[in-house]
Chains A and B, each alone.
Chain A
Amino acid sequence: MAKKVGMEVSVAIGEAVKLANADVVAAYPITPQTHIVEHLAELVADGELDAAYIPVESEHSAMSACLGSAAVGARTFTATAGQGLELMHEVLYVASSMRLPLVMTVANRALSSPLSVWGDHSDVMAVRDTGWIQLFTENGQEVVDNVFCAFRIAEDRKVLLPVMVHLDGFHLSHVIEPIVFPEQSAVDRFLPTNKYPLPLHPDKPVTMGDFAPPIIYSEAKWAQEVNLRASKEIILQTWQEFGKAFGRHYSPVESYKTEDAKVLLLTMGSFSETAMTVIDKLRGEGRKVGLVRFRLWRPFPFEEFRQAVRDAETLIVVDRALSFGGPGGPVCSEVKSALYDEAKKPKVVSFVAGLGGRDITPAGFETIINKGIEIAQKGSPNEFEIFGVRD
């Protein structure tokens, strides 16, 4: 029987990795990811998780050790945040380009300077193009469920790609929530043993990581792009299978009260739950507003997204990261790009808010929605609006 327990989300991730029977965890501590790796170290130390825990000396080495471990066919997990994700940056490309399946949870955090250990999406957006499959989660249950899904997706013979599961630092990583844990046997049924097809082993020597002269580099990159795009089919299948097995359902773009909505708010991560309460309130006042959230960030869910927003008049995108000197919040610029060629599309308004752990309260979301509607009608001289900055 699945059991429901109250648990800190970071600890719950450790429990999920245990249920997933990871073979190797290589990690470097960084706030607000620490409770995840502390719990994993404890599980290994107590013999509850039969894995090697490699306490590496940096995030660069954490991801590098993961490459080695995944390349021999071991089920591999790590976690990081903020600066750690940036220190891994170049290694992230290698993991996806070499098609090494591994799973990483990222407790999303702002970037220095000034130093901030608190949450936003600056770290995620900086690694947007690293070729990883990337999922956003909004609560503890979603993180736990998607850790299972992430392993299955990553290791699928048709995918073989690394997967990042994003959760907001502190706002999600450090809260205690009721979480349903499936039985070990159910997880085992859902998540078969990792069988990497071309592992490093003396029985069948392979060479991994050749260099490519110009005559063949483009072919290698295109193969990677085709593969990442095609992974969406397996991602959808996996969520479907998960829904069948465990009764909780996930989709690339999730909609809340969007039927007949004229105004849509778009968010990612744990702030979506606050946004929902505001949608409820405004609906109660008779206003036709709804909420759209990205669950799948890469590969970008073009069709599902266009479908989700096509009937609205206004789409207000709330980014939690700046694209310095750029065309607005990074998510918003992708949203605009995805809609550009559509005949029927909403007006898109870009807000940047919630940087470095700053809360967006329900009242804040209400202000964003009202101001967004006004901008959609009257226009604005700005590429985007910054919300909540003292002037």
Chain B
Amino acid sequence: MQNYNVYVPRLVTKKDTFVPGHRACIGCGEALAVRLACKALGQNVIIASATGCMEIVSSPLPTTSWKVPWIHTLFENAAAVASGIESGLKMLMKKGRIAEQEITVVAMAGDGGTSDIGIQALSGAMERGHNFLYLCFDNEAYMNTGIQRSSATPFGASTTTSPAGKQSIGQASWKKNMPAIAAAHNIPYVATACPSYPFDLIEKVEKGAKTPGPAYVHILSVCPTGWRCPTDLTVRMGRLAVETGIFPLYEVENGQYKLNFDFPELRPVTDYMKLQGRFRHLSEDLLVKIQQRVTADYASLKEKASDDEK
């Protein structure tokens, strides 16, 4: 595996359609995730973006970091805009007004734009069965506006609107399981990914793009600014999220679960959490509680995956 990883980079296209000069924070895992996803998407794509970090860092008028057609309109409607793009293209091709060709329609948003304010538009678009790929770049809070909690913020994390304090442990609710919500729409393809596993991410985005009908890829995007960790640990942190079982990498293809990376033994969640300032206040008791929840969730995911393999 290690050796395989070391030489595969040469096989990945050098061409970027999300170009340098973007204003993402130093060590931004989301910019990395977007860059890798764009490699997978290639040229024949139209992206509808929600408001958020990636929109702000890539498009200050009169400039753009995008070399592919890209549209941003509002915060909560990326999936709805993508619906319109997909339907419009389909009709224009049918009526011969533009040439028939494969154009991947992509909607992209952060965790707030996906699991909070944009969930209705996303649910609608998935239910209607549009042929599009939705990419959620999850950095686990509203980072663009200053690290406010979202429904994707993990239990116990201190954010500016779920601050740890004498009467508060930080975020008091558990992270909303967005991939499961997507899968509950019975769409043909759902996956989780993380740029710390770049080839897996690229493969999944490619697969999602090729899937006829709705596809959803949920990408954990480490945010050194919001998670309060050193910028050079971005990739390592993502790996730890996977190796601790906090963010397992899996696919749900036509309802069948498949765990892409399994480990004989999960690392303790503290290996991941101790490196981040947002969890620094957590007591041993709470860390144990989190460990129990992660272990249980991972076991239930693994069971689903092994049931489906049978």
* Chain A residues at the B interface, C-beta cutoff of 8 Å: 23-24, 26, 50-52, 54-58, 60-62, 64-74, 76, 90-91, 94, 98, 193, 200-202, 205-213, 216, 220
Contact = CB atoms under 8 A, between A and B. Distances in A.
Given A26-B84, A61-B83, A73-B88, A56 B124 contact: yes
A119 B77 CA distance: 29
Interface string B33-75: 0000000000111101100000110011111101111111110
Interface stretch (B95-103, B162-170, B225-233, B247-255): B95-103
A24 B84 CA distance: 8
A64 B91 contact: no
7 contacts: A54-B128, A73-B92, A73-B98, A76-B88, A200-B46, A202-B44, A212-B61
B123 interface: yes
Interface in B76-96: 76-77, 79-92, 94-95
A72 B70 contact: no
Given A24-B88, A206-B69, A207-B59, A68 B48 contact: yes
**Residue of A26, A67, A94, A213 with most chain B CB atoms under a 10 A cut-off:** A67
B69 A205 contact: yes
A53 to B, nearest CB: 9
Interface residues of B, number: 51
A87 to B, nearest CB: 11
A24 B80 CA distance: 13
B127 interface: yes
Contacts of A193: 97
A201 B69 contact: yes
Most chain A CB within 10 A, of B55, B71, B72, is at B71
A66 B74 CA distance: 13
Interface string B150-192: 0000000000000000000000000000000000000000000
A202 B68 contact: yes
A65 B86 CA distance: 9
Contacts of A91: 73-74, 77
Contact of B88 (A55, A58, A72, A220): A72
A201 B59 contact: no
Interface string B115-159: 000001101110110000000000000000000000000000000
Interface of B: 43-46, 48-49, 55-56, 59-64, 66-74, 76-77, 79-92, 94-95, 97-98, 103, 120-121, 123-125, 127-128
A201 B98 contact: yes
Nearest to B82: A68
A69 B74 contact: no
What 5 pairs across the A-B complex have the smallest Cβ distances?
A68-B84, A57-B124, A74-B88, A65-B84, A64-B80
Contacts of B66: 205, 207
A207 B84 contact: no
Contact of A64 (B73, B88, B103): B73
A200 B68 CA distance: 9
B77 A61 contact: yes
Contact of A94 (B49, B59, B73): B73
Contacts of B90: 52
B83 A54 contact: yes
Contacts of B98: 73, 201
A255 to B, nearest CB: 40
Given A68-B80, A202-B69, 11 more contacts: A50-B95, A56-B128, A64-B83, A64-B84, A70-B88, A73-B97, A74-B91, A200-B85, A201-B69, A205-B68, A210-B64
Contact of B73 (A52, A54, A67): A67
A202 B121 CA distance: 25
Q: Which of B60, B61, B79, B90 is most buried by chain A, counting CB atoms within 10 A of its CB?
A: B61
A26 B71 contact: no
Contacts of B127: 57
Contacts of B125: 61
Contacts of B86: 68
Contacts of A205: 66-70
A305 B285 CA distance: 74
Contacts of B45: 202
Nearest to A74: B88
B88 to A, nearest CB: 4
Contacts of A202: 43-46, 68-69, 103
B132 to A, nearest CB: 10
B87 A26 contact: yes
Residue of B43, B49, B73, B120 contacting most chain A CB atoms (<10 Å):
B73
B91 A24 contact: yes
A266 B86 CA distance: 45
Nearest to B17: A205
Given A24-B88, A58-B120, A68-B82, A200 B61 contact: no
Contacts of A216: 61-62
Nearest to B84: A68
A35 to B, nearest CB: 22
A24 B89 CA distance: 10
A69 B73 contact: no
A310 B277 CA distance: 71
A64 B124 contact: no
Contact of A65 (B63, B80, B89): B80
Contacts of B68: 202, 205
A205 to B, nearest CB: 5
